[in-house]
Structure 1
């Protein structure tokens, strides 16, 4: 076995995905019914793969946490890689995480962005979106996001979106209040200062005066009828509705197969972007 193959297996076991580790799966030790799987696929762009994921369970004190995240980088992959390695650690370091979870997650996002900006010389001028989900004891989901990667929960075959797409056109007032502008050129998507197609992101030092990295945070209980959670980058949501995504994978045999199936469907619909997807199955 080569060194690269050994590293690949270690990354899969640890629940990390990059361009060198494009799939993986696992399950909860607390509830054997809860499983997870991820899949990534390089898009048709000339640059290297810029998506990173975290998909794993870990014990934290007397609780089991499912940690799931997709980081969709732009103008380079270093910021997304940094987030993969540091964001959850920064969240769990917050002393009030267990008592004031929403505020702790918001604070950790902002702290992490400050650290990224301080290291912009090493990490480069790029940035990354993020969608994160923390599953606490298999019973409560804490979902946060900046950018346009999305979290969708399926309940009895019906989708419930747990994240907010931070599109420049929707946050025009906020961007303009910071001194920026939103371009709307025919044939192109709205962009912050004519450059970035999302209104919130980590990094992007040159645009940070007109952006924010403050996440939206939603807490959702896992109730009867909850089937699975989808976390996916915008390469899926550009070509599929929430309902179409749920219908596509509802009969998949396992979580990893579901993630792969969803990406294959997006590609069949002519999605050209890098695509990453995590599925957490509750039944």
Structure 2
């Protein structure tokens, strides 16, 4: 079994048809999504989301992505339709590679394809998570038991679409807000020959990293911020959302709003309703991934 093989039953164990019916397989996570155009302030919906169960045809893996478009929805729609396929191919081509490197390559490829193949100047912020099972390196046992696997989450983002993990009741941000008001991003833009005026790149774009936005050339880049974290029994859920949520809710407030909610779809709906009530002026898309940690 390779390092990244998902958990599998011992092939020597025999189960009757009745046993299988009594113990059906189910995912160790559940996904809920809610969205709202916010028609009071927005004429169009430019957010797109995608999630894939058993990602890469691997048992209990998952892919989760939220894409927030601007200057049109072409870029966000491209990512929603294609980025997971690009990433899956790259991961499966070489499973020994660090998934964070693969995410960087996939984001860079998406940025290039959007700028080359699509008309217009649309762009999108993006936040992506890949959940998969791995076994510890240098494992001396030829036979790997289920409890020896560890569940790893890899994330990547550009712009201000954000991923927040609720760990033991406390919010842990796994992404970085690439905004022109950020001193490090401001320095990078200026070093590339751009200007930051009124906390916007060349006075126009509030984010400094995105997929697309070819009008800004090398000033706005597609290289993401990436993280890896092991998901354990202390982790309750993951929130992936565009800035329509985060403009009006702090990370911990969002986590607190859905504590005790068992249904992922209901949790996502609560966060969207809360954002609208708090006066957000943007499209709102929220994805909640709840972890089953009873075992």
Output the TM-score relative to the length of structure 1.
0.84
* Cα distance in structure 2, aligned partners of 1:178 and 1:39: 38
Structure 1 residues 1-283: aligned runs within 5 Å:
32-43=27-38, 44-94=40-90, 95-121=93-119, 124-137=120-133, 139-170=151-182, 171-184=185-198, 190-283=199-292
Change in 2 beyond 3 A, CA 1:155/1:195: same
Aligned positions, number: 248
* Cα distance in structure 1, aligned partners of 2:95 and 2:79: 18
Asked if structure 2 preserves the Cα contact closer than 8 Å seen for 1:152 and 1:160, the reply is yes
Change in 2 beyond 3 A, CA 1:76/1:62: closer
SS in 1 for 2:67: strand
**What whole-Å deviation, never above 9, does each CA across 1:61-103 have from its counterpart, x for those lacking one?**
5443211110000011111000001111111222235432111
Structure 2: any 5+ residue segments left out of the alignment? 1-23, 134-149
Aligned-residue CA RMSD in angstroms?
A: 1.6
Q: Return the offset for 1:56.
A: 2.8
Change in 2 beyond 3 A, CA 1:33/1:131: same
SS in 2 for 1:252: coil
Structure 1: any 5+ residue segments left out of the alignment? 1-28, 185-189
Change in 2 beyond 3 A, CA 1:80/1:98: farther
**What whole-Å deviation, never above 9, does each CA across 1:203-238 have from its counterpart, x for those lacking one?**
111112211100011011101210000001101111
* Cα distance in structure 2, aligned partners of 1:176 and 1:198: 14
Change in 2 beyond 3 A, CA 1:163/1:31: farther
Q: Return the offset for 1:59.
A: 4.7
* Cα distance in structure 2, aligned partners of 1:120 and 1:180: 24
SS in 2 for 1:60: helix
